[in-house]
Amino acid sequence: MPSLNNTELLSTLSSTTPIVLTIAGSDSGGGAGIQADIKAISATGGYACSVLTALTAQNTQGVTAIYPISGEFVEQQLDAVFSDLNVIAVKIGMLSDSDVIHSVAKKIKQYKPQYLVVDPVMVATSGDLLLQSSAIESLKSELLPLADVITPNLPEAAALIGSKVPQNEDEMVAMINELRLLGAKSVLLKGGHLEDDSNSTDLFICADAVERLSMARIETRNTHGTGCTLSSAIASYLAQAHELQAAVTLGKHYITQAIIHADELNIGQGHGPVNHFFALNTKG
């Protein structure tokens, strides 16, 4: 059997390694943002690479400062990654302004990754605003129509379509048609904010169907980074050749387990992170 030279070997490896790019902001506390993305992608079997869009001074209690990164440097990072790595799936998280949104959309159109997951990050678990309101229209017009799936929570979905925040599942259902009009191939509407519900129910909205994904609600305050983690897990499963519906379902199961095991960690004095590596740390 003939041996492969270095170039052929690298080509073979790059074609089989599920490489996932996360484009997001940094969380200095390590529980959300690009740090959570890298953990989730790694824990679910992908290889994570990253492009930073903003730096935050942040911990489990809140965000005290945001330092934006220029669109020009975001583009330079994207060129560096895409020109060398065989990126299969991209997850997009925090984009702080219209300049960065435009730069990311431009490069996504140029490099055309196979899968795109957009988590329209606008508000942190602590309630801090992470996306300038003036940039929401840019997000809607330039990025969301490119996505295979977007993953808004209820406040984010309400901001995207200009409605009130749903207070029950019936009001979530009432958002379906307007969410479809955003142009993404599918929407995972996350119902975690319905805290009075004994279950955490998400609606996976496709062009011609809606699937209800429901798990028992876990009582914990350690939910920092749940949205980042879920969207990154979905991107990781897509990169591993799972169909979109299966990737969403697997992502839902993964984040549920990460929340179930969150209280095994003792991190910070506020909303602690989920346990990304629960499978490694589970005894027995």
Which residue type does 146 have?
L
Helices 33-43, 226-239: crossing angle, 10 deg rounding: 40
Tokens linked to 148: 């295979």
User: Hey, which residues are catalytic here?
Assistant: 190, 223, 225-228
Which is nearest to 247 in space by CA: 116, 158, 96, 121?
Answer: 116
* Strand ranges across the sheet with 199-205: 62-68, 47-59, 19-27, 87-92, 115-118, 149-150, 187-189, 199-205, 210-216
Tokens linked to 94: 């925090």
Q: How far apart are CA 27 and CA 34, in angstroms?
A: 7
Which is nearest to 123 in space by CA: 154, 169, 164?
Answer: 154
